[in-house]
């Protein structure tokens, strides 16, 4: 797994600042000027930072943005980066300020003078998130970023405050690694093996193979993988840190590659369908985070791992498959395969674990991208407290999430002439009808939320906290939700 950049937390040391030969980052605002650490560097550079902060260019910067001085006089540093960050910043802004530092790290690393800033831990976490660099398939990768030193007035307190966020950073990195890995490497078997390795963290991991799934009756999930040489699997992960409390269930769509099947996708952009296991990747990342920070909660993750390919055995439009629940499903479009996988995985999770609540994550519909673009995931929920908790958690972590309707009126689009339900209701309201399909597989009384993450899982351009590629969206939100809503008092 890609490791976060090495991050040391130390007390402020004047001599170390003067001698550091990498980058130095300090904080200021146009209104209040330089903070104490920045003033110290300003004296060393004979007022160069003051002139920068007083300039019209710096005044135009938004909080979390920066300007810099190259090879400043009086210092060994290659550059001083001055970040616009008010002392009274929220967590999202502080993380963004750290990320703008992480985006520019070089081999020599960086010295970050956070001093007594109350959001020093958030700055460090944001820096680590943005410094992510997936190198596994580069023959001659660039040297990794050097160590980062976070200089603060209270090192012990900041180290303690960083422990939880850095566990979440590791979870985000796992999710990003999984999504970024090509499908010829991350087969269903390889994916399951990666999850089994997480037993070392204290997570229980079971892998159900095709014979086991057939005997249990997961006909919908199995049908999706019929056309592939890569065997379908269901992976069950359990973190038990909350005593006897009913668990939260996370269910992830894990389509390691999606050709669309017989209803084949166009060639343009198909290479991005390695990301169709993003929901399973997020669930794995959350479990990693919970284990690394020792969460006082019971959480299970059920991941359906399949590959949707074309062959003589592949699922066809017009076929009828039977789900674990017992409902029959008429397949109208084999490219609406993720909901078949989730239907069985969700029913299995509820039947076995009787969860307190269930959340599924899936790169489910192109219609979600049409509706919300690439800045927000779609939230569908049958329970107001769960929906409110997810929206609050996403807002607190700066991850875009927008609630969508889940009206039963949309069910008429899913009526089948020959089976209990169709697997797609056509183009109108495509994301909503997909959610309504999934709602059939949630028993009455189970709080449930569906996160359609199709637009936020893979970025074509760098974002605030992630480079181009996999974002890891959702790990931070779900980790926070567990911390705020599902952990037992300690």
Query: Catalytic one among 96, 119, 339, 483?
Result: 339
Residue 380 forms beta bridges with which residues?
Answer: 450
262, 310 Cβ separation under 8 angstroms: yes
| Distance between CA atoms of residues 157 and 303, nearest Å | 37
Beta bridge partners, 26, equal 82
Start-to-end CA distance of the chain, whole Å, equals: 30
Contact (CB, 8 A) for 474 and 482: no
Q: Which of 104, 240, 265, 459 is catalytic?
A: 265
Tokens (6 digits) for 324: 């674990």
Q: What is the largest CA-CA distance in the chain?
A: 81
Is 265 considered catalytic here?
Answer: yes
Chain-centroid distance, C-alpha 432: 22
Active site residue 339: yes
How far apart are alpha carbons 404 and 453 in whole angstroms? 13
| Contact yes or no for 234/305 (Cβ under 8 A) | yes
How many residues does the structure list for the chain?
Answer: 490
Between CA 257 and CA 267, with CA 263 as vertex, the angle to 5 degrees is 60
Which residues are catalytically annotated? Answer: 265, 339
């Amino acid at each position: 797994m890609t490791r976060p950049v090495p991050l040391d937390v130390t007390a402020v040391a004047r001599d170390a600042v003067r001698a550091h030969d990498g980058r130095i980052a300090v904080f200021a605002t146009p209104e209040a000027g330089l903070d104490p650490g920045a003033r110290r560097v300003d004296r060393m550079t004979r007022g160069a930072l003051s002139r920068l902060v007083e300039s019209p260019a710096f005044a135009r910067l938004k909080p979390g943005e920066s300007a810099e001085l190259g090879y400043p006089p009086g210092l060994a540093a290659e550059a001083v980066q001055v970040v616009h960050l008010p002392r009274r910043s929220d967590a999202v802004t502080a993380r963004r300020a750290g990320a703008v530092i992480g985006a520019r790290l070089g081999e020599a690393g960086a010295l970050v003078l956070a001093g007594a800033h109350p959001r020093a831990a958030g700055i460090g976490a944001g820096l680590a998130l943005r410094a992510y660099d997936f190198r596994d398939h580069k023959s001659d990768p660039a040297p990794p970023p050097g160590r980062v030193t976070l200089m603060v007035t209270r090192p012990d307190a900041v180290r303690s405050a960083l422990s939880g966020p850095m566990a979440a950073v590791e979870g985000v990195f796992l999710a990003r690694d999984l999504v970024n890995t090509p499908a010829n490497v991350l087969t269903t078997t390889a994916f399951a093996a990666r999850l089994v390795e997480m037993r070392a963290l204290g997570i229980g991991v079971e892998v159900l193979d095709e014979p086991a799934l057939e005997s249990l009756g997961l006909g919908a999930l199995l049908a999706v993988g019929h056309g592939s040489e890569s065997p379908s699997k269901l992976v069950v992960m359990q973190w038990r840190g909350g005593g006897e409390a009913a668990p939260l269930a996370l269910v992830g769509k894990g389509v390691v590659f999606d050709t669309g099947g017989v209803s084949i996708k166009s060639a343009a952009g198909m290479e991005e369908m390695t990301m169709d296991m993003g929901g399973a990747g997020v669930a794995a990342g959350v479990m990693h985070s919970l284990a690394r920070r020792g969460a006082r909660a019971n959480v299970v993750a059920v991941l359906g791992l399949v590959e949707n390919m074309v062959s003589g055995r592949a699922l066809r439009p017009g076929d009828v498959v039977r789900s674990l629940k017992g409902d029959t499903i008429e397949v109208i479009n084999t490219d609406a395969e993720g909901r078949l996988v989730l239907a069985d995985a969700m029913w299995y999770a509820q039947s076995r674990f009787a969860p307190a609540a269930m959340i599924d994550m899936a790169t489910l519909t192109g219609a979600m991208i049409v509706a919300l673009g690439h800045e927000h995931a779609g939230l569908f929920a049958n329970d107001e407290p769960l929906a409110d908790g997810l929206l609050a958690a996403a807002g607190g972590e700066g991850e875009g999430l927008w609630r969508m309707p889940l009206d039963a009126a949309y069910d008429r689009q899913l009526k089948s002439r020959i089976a209990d339900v169709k697997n797609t209701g056509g183009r109108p309201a495509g994301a909503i009808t997909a959610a309504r399909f999934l709602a059939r597989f949630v028993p009455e009384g189970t709080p449930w939320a569906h996160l359609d993450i199709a637009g936020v899982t893979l970025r074509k351009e760098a974002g605030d906290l992630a480079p181009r590629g996999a974002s890891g969206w959702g790990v931070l939100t779900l980790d926070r939700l567990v911390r705020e809503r599902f952990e037992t008092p300690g």
